[in-house]
Amino acid sequence: MKTNTSSYIDNYSDKENLYRKIRDDIIFLDIKPGERFSETSIATKLKAGRVAVREAITQLNEEGYVEVLPQKGTFVAKINLEKIKQAAYAHTVLEQAIVEEILNRGLSKSEIDLLKNTLKAQKQEKEQNHIMNVILKEYQILYHLSTFCDRGFVWEVFRTLDSHLLRIQYLQYSTFVYQMQMSSLTNIENSVLESSMLIDNIMRGDKGNSLLIMSNRYTRIMWQAEMMKSIYPQYFSS
């Protein structure tokens, strides 16, 4: 499995762990949008070699997490609503096509077991309130579905789109820790419920509900993105 899809799978090499650590610091807002940081400070903080840090920053730049500005330095990219819309649209279109293909061919027992095990792991992450791991397990379920029909390559497309989408999701989930006025569920609980419902509907061959779940997921993200910008305007590009 390719390094570039490591955000959605388990097992990381040391080099990938370094990349993930810096990426997670950005997603978790430990390094905030618009903040400047240097190879030296990161290398010192993480006790890593500067060459490895430079390679990680290069990958993060390619994926849109950071911007390297000549003669100014490296900055965390501010969250961009237009790029979130692009990522949400790409996920919706491609993932719905994948689900339709899965529904046409059906699932094998081993595929069902893999989905159920990933769902179980997501529920365990929820119980421990590991917000980002809940999000990544949700993506992992979708990644598994794509590999079942030999469409794993679409995650190369998502890799360069998801830097803004993942950050807005974490911001939403961490902001709405408690129950929202319009729902009896937190965002984390809703994520696990949607994953469970999606797997259940695919297993039952219910195309309508399966596609609706996929669509609603990104509609909700976009609706809350506007709200997040009003709460944290300093994190967003104008």
Per DSSP, 46 falls in state H
**Residues facing residue 68 across a β-bridge:** 74
pLDDT at 41 over 80: yes
Chain-centroid distance, C-alpha 25: 14
Residue 32 Rama label (left phi>0; alpha psi -120 to 50; beta): beta
The predicted pLDDT at position 118 comes to 97
The reply to whether 165 and 130 lie within a common domain is: yes
The reply to whether 14 and 42 lie within a common domain is: yes
User: What's the whole-model pTM score?
Assistant: 0.83
The reply to whether 30 and 99 lie within a common domain is: no
**Domain end residue (candidates: 22, 44, 76):** 76
Q: How many domains does the chain have?
A: 2
Q: Which two tokens stand for residue 208?
A: 């309508």
CATH code for the domain in which residue 53 is found:
1.10.10.10
Query: Using CA atoms, how far apart are residues 118 and 218, in angstroms rounded to an integer?
Result: 21
The reply to whether 153 and 111 lie within a common domain is: yes
The reply to whether 196 and 153 lie within a common domain is: yes
CB of 9 closer than 8 Å to CB of 53? no
HSE value, Cβ hemisphere, 13 Å, CA-based, for 154: 21
Instruction: Determine the average pLDDT of the residues in 99-108.
Output: 94
Instruction: Determine the average pLDDT of the residues in 142-159.
Output: 93
The reply to whether 72 and 119 lie within a common domain is: no
The predicted pLDDT at position 191 comes to 87
- Give the structural domain span for 164: 81-233
pLDDT tier, 152 (very low <50, low <70, confident <90, very high otherwise): very high
Query: Using CA atoms, how far apart are residues 205 and 199, in angstroms rounded to an integer?
Result: 10
- Specify if 238 maps to a domain: no
Per-residue pLDDT reduced to its tens digit, 202-231 = 999 999 999 999 888 898 889 889 999 999
Q: What percent of the chain has pLDDT over 70?
A: 90
The reply to whether 19 and 94 lie within a common domain is: no
The reply to whether 186 and 222 lie within a common domain is: yes
Instruction: Determine the average pLDDT of the residues in 165-192.
Output: 72
Which alpha helices (H) appear in 149-177, and where do they start and end? 154-159, 162-175
CATH code for the domain in which residue 215 is found:
1.20.120
**Domain end residue (candidates: 76, 102, 135):** 76
Q: What is the side-by-side order of every strand in the sheet holding 66-69?
A: 36-37, 73-76, 66-69
Q: What percent of the chain has pLDDT over 90?
A: 58
Q: Collapse the DSSP code of 68 into the 3-class scheme (helix H, G, I; strand E, B; otherwise coil) and give the result.
A: strand
The reply to whether 115 and 169 lie within a common domain is: yes
Query: Using CA atoms, how far apart are residues 227 and 23, in angstroms rounded to an integer?
Result: 24
**Domain end residue (candidates: 22, 45, 76):** 76
- Specify if 106 maps to a domain: yes
